[in-house]
Chain A
Amino acid sequence: MTEPARLREISDDEFTAAYGSDRFTSAVILNRLRYAVEHMSTGFMREAFSPIIRDWYDFACTISGPPERGYPMAVVSNSLVVFLGTLGDAVRNAVEEYGPENLSPGDVLICNDPYRGGTHVNDVCFIRPVFAGGKIVTFVNMRAHQLDMGGTVPGGFSATKSNVYENGLVIPPVLLWSRDQPVRSTFSLIFDNTRWGGMLLPDFKSIHQQLKLGEQLVLENIERYGLDAYLGTLTYACDTSAERMRDAIALVPDGDYTGSALIDADGLDDTVDYTVRVTLRKRGQHIEVDLSGTSPQARTCINCGVLDAKTAVGVALTMLLDPEVPFTSGTWRTIDLATPPGTLVSSLPPDGGIMMFWEASGAVVSAIFDALNPVLGEKGVAGDYGSTNTHNASGVTAGGTPWTSATQCGGEHGPWGATKEGDGDSYTVLFFLNNLDPATETIEHDAPVVMLRKEHAIDTGGAGEFRGGAANLKDTLWLSAANHYLSPFRTKVPSGVGANGGKAGPNGAMWFFPPREGARELLGTSAEVYAGSIPVAGVLDPDSKAPDPEGVYHYFASRPVWRTEPGTVLRCLTNGGGGWGDPLARDPQRVLADVRNAYVSVEGAARDYGVVVVGDPHHDPEGLRIDEQATAELRARR
Chain B
Amino acid sequence: MNEIRENPVLERIPVDGPCPRCGAEELRRYPVVSEGGWFQVVKCQSCLYSVDREPWSRLGPIQLLSDSL
Contacts and interface: CB of A to CB of B under 8 A. Distances in A.
A333 B8 contact: no
A292 B58 contact: no
B37 A92 contact: yes
Q: How large is the interface on B (under 10, 10 to 19, 20 to 34, 35 or more residues)?
A: 20 to 34
A184 B65 CA distance: 26
* Shortest Cβ-Cβ A-B pairs, 10 listed: A340-B8, A336-B32, A341-B61, A292-B9, A332-B35, A340-B10, A283-B48, A337-B33, A296-B5, A286-B48
Contacts of A329: 35-36
Contact of B8 (A89, A275, A341): A341
A92 B35 CA distance: 11
A337 B8 contact: no
A97 B32 contact: no
Contacts of A1: 21, 49-50
A106 B27 CA distance: 48
Nearest to A92: B37
A341 B59 contact: no
A96 B21 CA distance: 35
Interface stretch (A194-202, A342-350, A506-514): A342-350
Contacts of B30: 338
B10 A339 contact: yes
Contacts of B61: 341, 348
Contacts, number: 93
Contact of B59 (A115, A293, A333, A339): A115
Contacts of A283: 47-48
Nearest to B33: A337
A70 B37 CA distance: 9
Nearest to B10: A340
Interface in B41-55: 41, 43, 47-50
A279 to B, nearest CB: 10
Contacts of B33: 306-307, 310, 336-337, 339
Interface string A273-286: 00101000101101
A342 B8 contact: yes
A294 B7 contact: yes
B11 interface: yes
B2 interface: yes
Interface in A80-103: 89, 92-93, 96-97
A272 B11 contact: no
B58 A296 contact: no
Given A288-B48, A336-B32, A348-B62, A271 B8 contact: no
B25 to A, nearest CB: 17
Interface string A106-117: 000000000110
Contacts of A275: 7
Interface in A249-290: 271-272, 275, 277, 281, 283-284, 286, 288, 290
Contacts of B14: none
A330 interface: yes
A93 B66 contact: no
A172 interface: yes
A286 B35 CA distance: 13
Nearest to B51: A1
B8 A332 contact: no
Contacts of B41: 336
Contacts of B49: 1
A295 interface: yes
Given A272-B3, A336-B34, A337-B33, A294 B8 contact: yes
Given A281-B48, A286-B48, A97 B58 contact: yes
A1 B9 CA distance: 28
A349 B62 contact: yes
